Structure 1
Amino acid sequence: MRVAIAGAGAVGRSVALELTENGHQVLLIDKSPGSIRSDVVPDAQWLLADACEMSSLAEAGLHTCDVVIAATGDDKVNLVVSLLAKTEFSVPRTVGRVNHPSNEWLFGESWGVDVAVSTPRLMSALVEEAVSVGDLVRLFTFRQSNTSLVELTMPADSPYTGRLVRDVPWPRDVVLVAILRDNAIETPDPERSLEAGDELLFVTAEDAEVEIGSLLSPKS
């Protein structure tokens, strides 16, 4: 997979390092000479250019990218990069970093953003996830498809504690993707039982979230 990252600051470099270690081709773009630190991510390509300029994106070969990540510290730049990537270069997937929570509403389809990553929202969701049992916690939203990654920790008094996955009448537009148990990831096989304390991860339509909570934790 070829990935272009606009913004070679600490965030962009960290993402690039992770991706290159996983075998992906990564191009980092930044207009600041001080940000070009090829020694930090030696396996990545680097381009000193303004990612808001069409000519720079053309030089970067954005039309050959599978994913573009707008990871600068400026929300305006991230929106422009996402929009150009999607509308001018037909990039299949765009990810936009949200720096200021008040701008989160802008990071959607109208600005070419497929996935918006808001650090404040993600941190608050992780805090909720760490302390909530029986409450549904939204971890991530895929704006283009109006679906979310949500988590629910099975309470001991759930009517489905001890029942098999296949015996649960799962709501429509809800997919159980993983069960986290005893620091291990379990596949949601039909014959696997659900136990108290299991962290269940779902991909679900937003309007089905309440149904999951009502089903597995009626008191929530």
Structure 2
Amino acid sequence: MKVAVVGAGAVGSSIVRELAGHGHEVLVIDEKPDAIGRADLRNSGWIVGDACDPAILREAELEQMDVMVAATGDDKVNLVVSIMARSEFGVPRTVGRVNNPKNEWMFDQAWGVDVAVSTPRLITALVEEAVEVGDVVRLLNLQSDRATLNAFTVPHGHTVIATTVGEVPWPQDATLVAILRDGMPIAPTRDDVIEAEDELFFLATGDGEHQLQVLFSR
């Protein structure tokens, strides 16, 4: 997979290292020449320049990328780069970093963002997941808020314990995609039996998320 990462700060550098380590072809765009060392580009390409400049994106041959990640610390830059990547270069998938949660409402497909990742909101969700056993916790918004990734930790004594996945009346608009048990991920089948302290992960629409809350409140 060919990926362009805009921004070689701490977040962008980590993304670059992970993607390159997984064998993807990564190109980094950053306007600061000294960012190259921080990004650890031994296995990646790089361009020094302002990613808001269409000429820089043409130099990067953005139209050949499968994914563009806007990971700078400036929400305005991330939005501008995302909309140009989509509208001018036809990049199939874009990921935008949200630095200020107040700006989340703008990170949607109207601005060319397929997936918005808000670090503050993600940290909040992970904290809630750690302490709010028995509650449905939203971890991530996907596809411009039309779908969400949710987690539910099964508390002791809950009615779903000792039932199989196939026996639970899951909402139509929510799909159980994984079970985390004792730190090990399980791809759920209809015959898997749910246990106390299982972490259940769901992809859901807004309605499905609400229906999960109703289901688990019984």
Structure 2 letter corresponding to 1:51: A
Instruction: Please name the residue that 2:59 is paired with.
Output: 59
Q: 1:3, 1:169 → 2: CA distance?
A: 40
Structure 2 letter corresponding to 1:215: L
Q: 2:38, 2:128 → 1: CA distance?
A: 38
Which blocks of at least 5 consecutive residues in structure 2 are unaligned? none
Query: Structure 1 residue 9 and structure 2 residue 25: aligned?
Result: no
Q: Is the 8 A contact 1:38 1:44 kept in 2?
A: no
Q: 1:168, 1:155 → 2: CA distance?
A: 16
Q: Is the 8 A contact 1:134 1:213 kept in 2?
A: no
Q: Is the 8 A contact 2:9 2:38 kept in 1?
A: no
Pairs aligned (count):
218
The within-5 A match list for 1:1-220 is 1-37=1-37, 40-144=40-144, 146-218=146-218
Question: 1:145, CA displacement in angstroms?
Answer: 6.3
Question: 1:37, CA displacement in angstroms?
Answer: 1.8
For residues 84-108 of structure 1, give each alpha carbon's deviation from its aligned partner in whole angstroms, at most 9, with x where no partner exists. 0011111111011111111111111
Question: 1:26, CA displacement in angstroms?
Answer: 0.3
For residues 172-206 of structure 1, give each alpha carbon's deviation from its aligned partner in whole angstroms, at most 9, with x where no partner exists. 12110100001111111111001111000000111
Q: 2:86, 2:150 → 1: CA distance?
A: 27
Q: 1:167, 1:128 → 2: CA distance?
A: 28
Percent identical pairs in the alignment equals 51
Structure 2 letter corresponding to 1:100: N
Q: 1:172, 1:47 → 2: CA distance?
A: 46
Structure 2 letter corresponding to 1:163: T
TM, length-normalised to structure 2: 0.96
Question: 1:157, CA displacement in angstroms?
Answer: 2.6
Q: 2:163, 2:38 → 1: CA distance?
A: 53
Deviates more, 1:187-196 or 1:141-150: 141-150
TM, length-normalised to structure 1: 0.95
Question: 1:20, CA displacement in angstroms?
Answer: 0.5
Q: Is the 8 A contact 1:38 1:46 kept in 2?
A: no
Q: 2:38, 2:206 → 1: CA distance?
A: 41
For residues 8-47 of structure 1, give each alpha carbon's deviation from its aligned partner in whole angstroms, at most 9, with x where no partner exists. 1111111000000001000000111121227723101011
Q: 1:157, 1:211 → 2: CA distance?
A: 20
Q: Over aligned residues, Cα RMSD in angstroms?
A: 1.3
For residues 133-167 of structure 1, give each alpha carbon's deviation from its aligned partner in whole angstroms, at most 9, with x where no partner exists. 11000000013360000000112232221100011
Q: 1:87, 1:115 → 2: CA distance?
A: 16
Please state whether the residue corresponding to 1:37 is helix, strand or coil.
helix
Q: Is the 8 A contact 2:8 2:38 kept in 1?
A: no
